Structure 1
Amino acid sequence: MGYCQIRNPKPELYVKLLLRFKRAGLFATAVSWLSLPMASGQVIDEDHGPTDRPIHIRVHADQVHRDVIPNTIFGSFLEPIGRSTYGGLWAELLENPSFEEGLWSAGAIVKMVQERPELERASQLDLPLPWEPLDARQGNRYEPERGDAANSSQSLLVMGLPQAEVGIRQRIYLPVHRTLAYRGSLFIKHQSGAAQVYISIRRRNDPQQVLADATIEANKEVWTKYSFELTIKLGQVDALQPADFVVAVRDDSRAFIDQLSLMPADNVDGMDAEVLKLAKDLHTPLVRYGGNFTSSYHWKNGIGPADQRSSQSNLAWNIPEYNTFGTEEFLRFCELIGAQPQVALNLGSGMPQEAGDWVKYVNARWGNKQGGLLWELGNELWGSWNMGYPTRDQIGTRTEAFSAAIRKVDPTARLIATGADEDFYHDWNAVQLGTPPATFQYLSTHFVVTDDQVQMSNPSNDFVALSAFALPIGLERRMKEMTEQIQQSNHKDAQIAFTEWLFVAADHPAPGFRNMGGAIDTAGFLNMLMRNADIVPISDMTGILEFGGIWKKREQVYGAPGYWVLRSYAEEKPSRLVPTDSDAPQYTVDHGVTRLPHIEHVPWLEVVAAEGQTPDELILFCVNRNLTRDYRATIQVDGFTPRPLAEIKTIAAPSIYTENDEMEPEAVKAVADQISVGSSFEHVFPRAGVVVIRLVRRNR
């Protein structure tokens, strides 16, 4: 302890640090530090006491703050990116079910074929990706039919062979750990020959091993929808093992097929049952429907009968947008998990009238149909990656126009204007804050940070980690600076909405959404929000699916480490902040994460206290940022006599780089237990860990 890769400090720091090391009994360590090679960057430990001394924490439960902590700081957000919606929340097992072209960018196709070389031969046979021939040796027996489709713009003609079976297949994964039954549908237009079309699930790359099958009598020469059911037997397919979904004709039969679907029978209104459970258990009160896709999303493409919605490219992420998950489905998702919708509107390629129509459509279908929902006026409009982004000179006028269109249909709507990130907000936000006061109530900000990008050259892993852990403390100060600008403007009563935040590890071992280090980042961020809920009452963690939230890989559903932190905090429903005093040691980072390189007074052990759902509950939210040291703390609670047993949740792991994945879905999770407590009690907080303690008042 005492330093973490301290390099090239200012000359006057040599003496100061030597004195600190000497007082801490670490003079030998300080001497060895002097011989280190020179670079730039430092983490200074401000702890002057012996390493075995306990930390003293005093909780003033008799001085509860008046301001309420809104539960909306525990929001999350959903965006069609990666496999968050399609392949994640949406239970559909098939990709490109309507045989379209142009759904992926060239780069995405290159990556797809590199990962699955067999798709190159499929493409040579004119099969839309990622469909494959049942038997590639049969050659060209497929023809995409453009302009004649049951859905979108293209269907597929499958042409049989005498005394043979010709078909298409797609690799799928099945959630066999929870269900063996699957339901599906497809559109068929008969061309010639026998009328039968054969549907099956087969062993991957072994067409003779049919695990479940159904036969459809399809003799109509107009597009007709058919349904089927397939049930496999227990043990035929293992969890995480691929299978083939097959559609085939036999002998001289020829048929056009289009718009297929295959879902687990336990889907809930088209959504994955396991994902829904984890999402509901998250207790998130708010789900933002937004992101970069917002600036090119036209909501009317995602309404009406699902099998009549056209597939297209998601231009923001160069992946398919099937539009089968649209407004109705999003609202149903929110309803199922007990969250309020927060929708980002298209201020890129969209128009005010389109936005107003969407507000009217949602209001007619949500809750008491009285409106008053949160609407976000665009997403990251300062970024050139957003379609139709306005310039800084244009943003105020565009914000006003969309605000007026929404107020016309719903005067009670709560509006969030697009603000800029913490490192360049001033000039952009000044334009937004120059609009009339009634234009919006909140100004958004984002912090999606690659936290292994530090100013220090050749940083150690520990330096990167401690720099990342300090970020919420640095952000807290930026939030107050942004609030000062707001209060000096026409929008004195406006507040900040933190509508995206995420910690990403890119090239260097670092805390990120995949690992335990990301859980520590998340806890620090939520602690920061609770302390500042009066100026930042809305927050949406990235995201409820993928990133810091719920993942699904090969049909195994699990939560990222950060998911467990957000869940552990949100389910406590903290209502009002309780002041605390602590003598916990601190550290300072210099030349740290590029976006916030200098951060002072970062507590190694941070404790935020809050009243729970009732005045008889007291919750302690604790994060230990130290990578090597467990902290023993004595906790004194004033004005609150707890019952002798308290509930505790601990989130820790052998390493900050421990990850959850489909093979080890709960390597990091919240572990519940009970501990003995009193008005004064002691607890040991594990290194690089997160702890939530719930005290319940003893009956008077």
Structure 2
Amino acid sequence: MNIVKKIPLFLLAILMLSENMTAQNARIKIDIDRQIGEVDKNIYGNFVEHLGRCVYGGIYDEGNPLSDEDGIRLDVLEAVKGLNIPITRYPGGNFVSNYNWKDGVGPKDDRPVRMELAWARLESNRFGTNEFVDYARRMNTEPYFAVNMGTGTIKEAQEWVEYCNVKEGPYYAELRKKHGYPEPHNIKYWSLGNEMDGFWQMGHLNAEDYCKKAREAGKLMKLTDPNIKLIAAGASNFRPDNDPHEWNATVLSELKNVVDYIALHMYLGNHEDNYYNFVSAPLVLEERTRIVKGMIAREMEKADRGDRDPIYIAWDEYNIWYRWRAEETMTGTRALEERYNLEDALVIAGFLNAFIRNADVVKMANMAQLVNVIAPIFAEKEGIFLQTIYYPLQLFANNMFGTSLDVFVDCETYNTDKFQLGLAEQATQQNGVPYLDVSAAYNNGEVVIGVINRHKENSITTDILSQEGLFDGEFKIFEVNGPNIKAENNFDKTEVKTIQKESVKLKNEAGFTYEFPPHSFTMLKGKIIQ
């Protein structure tokens, strides 16, 4: 049972006499004056790639009784809407580096079937640009397109912008109109390729050649529509024989006056079945964020961007992916169908906490991917279930907005062993990892606090204190948890989900005490009055 008790003002004064005092309880101190930056809604984005059953058999399933006349799976769409997704990246991923957008427009029966070389399957092209835009409008998301910087040309990239964003006149704008879309799609966000530093990428380039191609593609695209935002492909290759910082430094130096974001990717895995290593791994993402933030600051001192914002970071691929990484599970029509458990959900909450704590520079993030393929939603022909990772993302995307706060946390810590980090083949070690991982945002008198208790066995009793103002009214409490760290969901069981706990009722209180259960994520939401 969770313990909740109020903390009177005189006790708060004693607690705050010294930051170094030994306290019986852990402490989380909220100070609404210690602000990091505005939380951009786009950090709750997602990703749809033509990979496995993400599109075909996922969001789009022609002939299925659960689909409508357009082939859209209605049960999937309803679950998608629950995530309140503000922006969705499309169509890849590795897929895009050998994709010609022209194959996916026009009458469906006239579209060519192509060999899909990235994930070893056939691509029917029955779902393409216009189908995705229609789907995006139905799920109330902003489309974010990635152009082919591998086998594609800068002219193809320009023509896609023309097709999507120019109202009338030139050839591709008129072609869109012939295809039944008289008004432009007005796609705002465009990525200049995907993971171009990776040797696995079709059309892989070195940093200098990538920057030359990206600069010229961006030039043509911006001449076609000056209002678009461009995202550069940052480092994704963190293997020990490669220097990802060199790639990022070159991209930022060469494209500092061209792009609006630099895209970074990270996938994590619990290869060694070491729980404490795994749940601390998002701290490595935070470390990489700080390094790139420093690089951006250095280049912005030399940039000539006029009145444009500085370059921001887009973590436009992140997730847990390690079980389905053998050759036979990475290709074909059922590729990457990872099944998630509670510890995976806690890591996703850790990613999201890290994005909030770095809200001044992280302005976009896209969980990869939406359905079936390393995804929060899993579908078969007969129905769907929500994976464990669905629930923390849903809580953040529907509640955590406003100004990110620099939260003081005082709790016990632990050290990790060396471990392998997802795609990176490097050993990483974290010292002094706090059992409580915390983020918070303040929005028009309301504070939202996200707390992971990483401890596998113990609850952590915590004093939640307000430095400026008083907690007042009803504090709503939501908890993501399950019977154990390996608990999973499936079609016939839901072991991990969000439970709304009994609210805490406060009246002009300086603080209150809450007991965070082991292996849990908790979100608390209430008011601070001045």
TM-score (norm 2): 0.82
> Does 1 or 2 have the higher relative contact order (CA < 8 Å, sep 6+)?
2
Counterpart in the other structure of 2:189: 374
Counterpart in the other structure of 2:39: 69
Which AA in structure 1 matches 2:403?
Answer: R
Counterpart in the other structure of 2:523: 692
Mapped partners of 1:363, 1:295: distance in 2: 22
Counterpart in the other structure of 1:518: 344
Secondary structure at the counterpart of residue 440 of structure 1: coil
Which AA in structure 2 matches 1:502?
Answer: N
Residues 528/644 of structure 1: CA separation in 2 closer, same or farther (3 Å cut): same
Counterpart in the other structure of 2:487: 658
Preserved CA contact (<8 Å) 1:591 1:598: yes
Counterpart in the other structure of 1:12: none
Alpha-carbon shift at residue 380 of structure 1 (Å): 0.8
Mapped partners of 2:427, 2:110: distance in 1: 48
Counterpart in the other structure of 2:434: 603
Per-residue CA deviation, residues 619-656 of structure 1 (Å, 9 max, x unaligned), is 11111111111111121224444444322211101121
Preserved CA contact (<8 Å) 2:164 2:187: no
Mapped partners of 1:674, 1:440: distance in 2: 47
1:54 aligns with 2:25: yes
1:452 aligns with 2:271: yes
Per-residue CA deviation, residues 354-409 of structure 1 (Å, 9 max, x unaligned), is 11111122225899858471110001112222212223341111111211121110
Preserved CA contact (<8 Å) 1:646 1:674: no
Mapped partners of 1:429, 1:56: distance in 2: 38
Alpha-carbon shift at residue 268 of structure 1 (Å): 6.4
Match of 1:667 among 479, 482, 495: 495
1:496 aligns with 2:313: yes
Mapped partners of 2:244, 2:278: distance in 1: 21
Alpha-carbon shift at residue 439 of structure 1 (Å): 1.8
Mapped partners of 2:31, 2:256: distance in 1: 38
Preserved CA contact (<8 Å) 2:114 2:122: yes
Match of 2:370 among 537, 544, 548: 544
Preserved CA contact (<8 Å) 1:513 1:562: no
Which AA in structure 2 matches 1:433?
Answer: L
State which drifts further: 340-349 or 671-680: 671-680
1:273 aligns with 2:74: yes
Per-residue CA deviation, residues 318-367 of structure 1 (Å, 9 max, x unaligned), is 12322111111111121111111111110111111111111122225899
Preserved CA contact (<8 Å) 1:372 1:410: no
Which AA in structure 2 matches 1:670?
Answer: T
Mapped partners of 1:486, 1:80: distance in 2: 32
Preserved CA contact (<8 Å) 1:609 1:621: yes
Mapped partners of 1:435, 1:428: distance in 2: 11
Q: Alpha carbon RMSD of aligned pairs, Å?
A: 2.6
Counterpart in the other structure of 2:418: 591
Alpha-carbon shift at residue 582 of structure 1 (Å): 2.2
Which AA in structure 1 matches 2:42?
Answer: T
Secondary structure at the counterpart of residue 488 of structure 1: helix
1:478 aligns with 2:297: no
Alpha-carbon shift at residue 425 of structure 1 (Å): 1.6
Preserved CA contact (<8 Å) 1:422 1:447: no
TM-score (norm 1): 0.63
Counterpart in the other structure of 2:159: 357
Preserved CA contact (<8 Å) 1:72 1:285: yes
Residues 691/422 of structure 1: CA separation in 2 closer, same or farther (3 Å cut): farther
Match of 1:619 among 419, 424, 448: 448
Counterpart in the other structure of 2:512: 681
Q: Equivalences for 1:424-439 in 2 at 5 Å?
A: 424-439=243-258
Using the aligned pairs only, state the percent identity: 28
State which drifts further: 553-562 or 406-415: 553-562
1:85 aligns with 2:55: yes
Counterpart in the other structure of 1:138: none
Counterpart in the other structure of 2:202: 387
Which AA in structure 2 matches 1:426?
Answer: H
Counterpart in the other structure of 1:414: 229
Secondary structure at the counterpart of residue 439 of structure 1: coil
Per-residue CA deviation, residues 70-129 of structure 1 (Å, 9 max, x unaligned), is 11111111112121110111022xxxxxxxxxxxxxxxxxxxxxxxxxxxxxxxxxxxxx
Alpha-carbon shift at residue 428 of structure 1 (Å): 1.5
Which AA in structure 2 matches 1:264?
Answer: P
Mapped partners of 1:651, 1:286: distance in 2: 24
Secondary structure at the counterpart of residue 389 of structure 2: helix
Mapped partners of 1:373, 1:659: distance in 2: 38
Which AA in structure 1 matches 2:193?
Answer: G
State which drifts further: 596-605 or 494-503: 596-605
Mapped partners of 2:38, 2:504: distance in 1: 29
| Larger CA Rg, structure 1 vs 2 | 1
Q: Equivalences for 1:540-579 in 2 at 5 Å?
A: 540-546=366-372, 547-579=374-406
Preserved CA contact (<8 Å) 1:548 1:561: no
Secondary structure at the counterpart of residue 283 of structure 1: coil
Per-residue CA deviation, residues 429-450 of structure 1 (Å, 9 max, x unaligned), is 2332232532212111111233
Per-residue CA deviation, residues 561-593 of structure 1 (Å, 9 max, x unaligned), is 111111111101411013322211122224123
Preserved CA contact (<8 Å) 2:89 2:146: yes
Match of 2:465 among 623, 629, 636: 636
Which AA in structure 2 matches 1:522?
Answer: I
Preserved CA contact (<8 Å) 1:554 1:662: no
Per-residue CA deviation, residues 445-503 of structure 1 (Å, 9 max, x unaligned), is 111233325xxxxxxx4xx1111111112221221112222322367532221111112
Secondary structure at the counterpart of residue 257 of structure 2: helix
Preserved CA contact (<8 Å) 2:194 2:233: yes
Mapped partners of 1:672, 1:379: distance in 2: 39
Any stretches of 5+ residues in structure 2 without a counterpart? Answer: 1-20, 167-175, 304-309, 326-337
Residues 640/313 of structure 1: CA separation in 2 closer, same or farther (3 Å cut): farther
Residues 433/577 of structure 1: CA separation in 2 closer, same or farther (3 Å cut): closer
Which AA in structure 2 matches 1:54?
Answer: N
Counterpart in the other structure of 2:307: none
Residues 360/683 of structure 1: CA separation in 2 closer, same or farther (3 Å cut): same
